[in-house]
Structure 1
C-alpha cells in the first residue's frame, strides 16, 4: 500500500465520520454516549491509517536516502580499490622487477626488490606488495621481514594469478591463506622485453585491506552497510559480526565450490539474521560481480508512525469535540483541507531539499573532475617547461663558444670591408669583387649559426614527423664546435651518406644529441686522448644512434640509476643530474629507447634507438 492510497483512505474515513449524523440523543448522557461511541470507532481507525501512511512516507524517503547512500558507498568502494591500481601497474614495468623474474636466484636483486616493495608498501599503507614467478612462487614481498612472509609460498591456485599470467588484470577478494587477513588483490603481468603471446615473466600483486573503508562506513550511525559477491557471501561490512556470512543459506554444491577455491578459508559462512526487506536496498558495483547493500534503521520509521498515529488520534478527538461543541462542519472541513495543504507543502519542501542535495553533490563531483583535468594539464605544461628550461640552460652554457664562433666571421667581415675600401680607391675592382665574395660567404656562415641556434632554442610542437638524424647530428656538432676546439677534442662522424629518416620532433632530437655530446666532452676533458665518435646503424624498424667517448667510463654500480632524475656523477655545482633524465623522457615520447654501457675498449657509449619513419 503506497503513501497516496493511505492518505486517500485517511481523508475518506474522516469525511465519512463527519458526514454521519446519528439521531440526536436525549439529554446529556445520551450525547456523551454518542460521542464516546463515535470516538471508539474513529480514533483507533484514524490512528492506524495515519501510522500506516506515515510509515509508507518514511519508507519512501528512506528509499530515496538509500539510493543516494548507495551511490556514495559504491563510489567510495570503487575509489578505494582503484586508487592503488597504479602501484602494481608501475611495478610491472620496473626494471628491477623484470630483472628479478629473469634471474630469480640473484640474492642481491631479491634484497633490493624486497626493500623497494617494503618502502612502497609503507607509503601506500597496503596489506602487502609481492612479486610472483610464472610458476606462482613468491620471489619478493614487502613483508619479507615478518614471520608470515609470502616469500617462498606458491599462490598459483588464486584466480588473480591465473588471470595476470595470461596477460590480463587479475582482481580477486579472498581470505589470506598465510596471514589469515582478508583483502582485495590486484595483479598485473610483467612482460618480457619482447612482448608477445605467452611472454609474461611473472606477476606483481597488491593486496588492499578494507579496514579503513569499513572504519569510515562504521561512522554512518544507524546504517548497516555490507558488500556481497556473486554467491551471496558478505565480505565487507561495517558490522563486524556480519562479515563472512551469507544472504541466504548456501546449497551444498555452492559451499563445496567455495571450500575448493579457499576464498574464505576458515570461515563458517552462516546466514545473516532476518531483516525487513523494505529497509534493505542494494546496488551493483560497476566492473565487478559485487553488490552493495544498505540496511537502514527502522527506529525512525517506527517513531514516525507512532507519532503520526498518536497525532491522528488526538486530532480526531479534537475534531469530534469541535464538531460536537461548535457544530460547524464547514470549519472542520476547512481545517482538514489546511492540514492536507501543509502536508503537501512539507512533502514538496523535503523533495526540494533532497533534489538540492543531489544537485550539490553532482556539482561537487563535476568540479573535482574539472580540477583533476586542470592539474593534469598543468603537469604536462610543467614537463614541457622543464624540457625547454633545460634546453635554454644548455644554450646558456654554450653561449661563450657560440659568441666566439660568431665573432670570428664578423671580425673577418670587418677586415675584408676595410680592405675593399682601400682597393676601391686604388681601382683594383677584381680584388674588391673577391673581397665581397668572401664577405658573402662569411655572412652565410653567421646566418647558418643563427639558424642552428633558432632551431635548437625553439619550443617543441610535440608532433612526430620524419627527421634526418644526420642533419640533427651536424647541427648539434656545429653548436658545440667552439667547446670542442677549446678542449682540443676530436669528433669523428661515421654516418652513411643516405641515412634513413626517423620519427621525432626535430628540436627535441637536437636537444638529446646536444646533451649526449656535451656529456661526452665533459667525460674526455681530463683525458690525454680526447676522441668522440658518432655513428648510425639500423636494427630492423629502428635506427641506432651511438655516441662513444674515450673518457673513464661509467661505474657499474651507477648504470642502473644513470637516467634517474637528479642523479649525477659530476662534481657539486657542475650539473643538476637532469640532462639524461630529460633525454630519457624525450626518447620514450618518440616511442624509442636509450641505453648506456661501457665500451670494451674503454670509455662509455650511449645508444639511442629511434623508430624508422615509413617510406613515402
Structure 2
C-alpha cells in the first residue's frame, strides 16, 4: 500500500469520525434544547392560562346570583309590567357598572330580553344563541360569540332562573375579553385561543383571528351561521398546517411546524421556521390555548454544539497526528533551534530597548504634565488678578455718583449752617447717612456675583426706590437735558423685595439708559410700574439706538459690554439680574416697537412674596 493511499484512507476515516461526533452532538443538543424550550413554553402557558381563567371566572358566577334578585323574579312573574322592567334594568345597570362587564340581561322562556344593563337590548330575540338553549334546558351555558348589535366579541355565560322547580327565564352576562388581549405581550411567542368549534377567537397575531384550525363541514358552517357566533366572518382555514398529537392524560398538544407548509398561505413571521406547538385547555371552559415557539434558536445552538464537537474531535485527531510525526518535526526543530535562540535573543534585546525608551517617554510626559499644570495654575491666578482689577474699576465707577451727591450735600449743609438753618442741615445729614449706607450696599451685590449673600426682602416702595435712583443721577439728567416720563410716584406701587438692592438695580438700569441716549438728538427716558398676576413689573425704556442681535443674546453675560473700551466692566446687568433672581424676580431686555431699548424688571408682589417667604 503506497503512502498516498494510506494518507487518503486515514483522511476518510478521520472525516467520518469527525462527522459522526458532530451529528451525535447535534442530535443530543437538539433534544435537550427542545425539552428546555418545551418546559419554558409550558410555564408561560400555565401563567397565561391562569390569567385568562381568572378574567372569566371572576364574573361567570354572576348570572347564577340574578335569580336571587327580587326585581328580576318580579319581572319574570309580571313580564308585561313596565315598572318591573325598569326596576330590573336599573338593578342590572348598577351591577354591570360595578362589575365592569360588557352586558347583563334577562330573557324570558322565548328568548326575548326583558331587562338589560343596556336599554337598547330590551326586546331583542336571542333564542338562536346556544347559551340560551343550554340555560333553558337547566344547564349553565358558556361560549364565545360576537355581539349582533355592537360587533364586540365576548364570552357569554348563562344560567337558568328558577321560580320554584320551574325554569322561568335565563340570566346571561357578556364578559369583556380586552384583558386577555392585553396579556398577549407576556408571552414570548405567537399564541392563540380556539373555542370548541376549533375557531381561533383570540390571538396575538391579528391575521389568525376567526380562522378555523380544522376544515369545517357544510353542516358545521350552517349551524354557525344560524347561531351567528362569529357574525359574518367567513372563517377561512388557519394559515398553517399543524400536525398535532394529543395526550389524553395531560391534555397537552404538541407538534412541530415543518419548513414546507404545503398549500397553506404562511404568515411572513412564521413562514420558513420550524415551530414547537404546545397547547392546553382552559379549566372549566371549552377553549384551548396554543403557543408557537420558534425552534430556530434551538437548532442554531445544536448546530453550534455539533460544530464544536467536530472541532474538538478534529483537534484530538490532529494532536495524534502531530504526536506521530513528532520525531520528524523534532529533528527539524533541532536544526532550527540555534537560529531560533539567536532570533529570540535579538528580539529580547529589542524589547528591552523599547521598554527603556518607553520608561523615558513616560518620565518626560510626567514632567510635561507637571509643567502644564503649573502653567494652568499661573494662568488661573493671572485671570483672577485681572478680574480683581476690573472689579476695583467697576466699584470706583459705581461709587462715583454717590460720592458726588455726598460732596454736593456736604456743601449745602455748610451753607445752611452759616445761615443757621438747622432743620435743612438735619435733612442734608440724613440724606448723607442714607447715601453712605447705600454705598455699602453697592459693594455687596458686586460680591454676590461670585458668592450670593442673603437678601432681606420686605414691603418696599417702588416709587421711592426709583426716586432715590433718579436722585443719584440728577446731575447727569440735567447735563444731558433728558426728558423724563415718570409714571410712578412714591406710595403707589409696593413690592416684596430688598429696598437697597432694588435701588441698586434701578440705579444701574437708569445709568445704562443715560449712556444709550447721550449721543442721540432726542434724549428721553420712560419709567413705569404696574401690577400683573401678583407681580410688579417695572419698565425702563430709553430713546437710544436699541440693542443688536448679538447684544440681546449676550447682554447678561459677565464682562460683556457694548460700551467703549475702558468704560465699565460689563458686570452691571449680570449683577442686576442676579439680584432680581435672588429675590424671586427676573430681569429681561428687548427692543421697543417705537424704538430704543426696554428693560423689564419683574418683582414679587407683597402678598405673593410673603406667601412664598
- Structure with the greater alpha carbon radius of gyration: 2
Give the TM-score normalised by the residue count of structure 1: 0.44
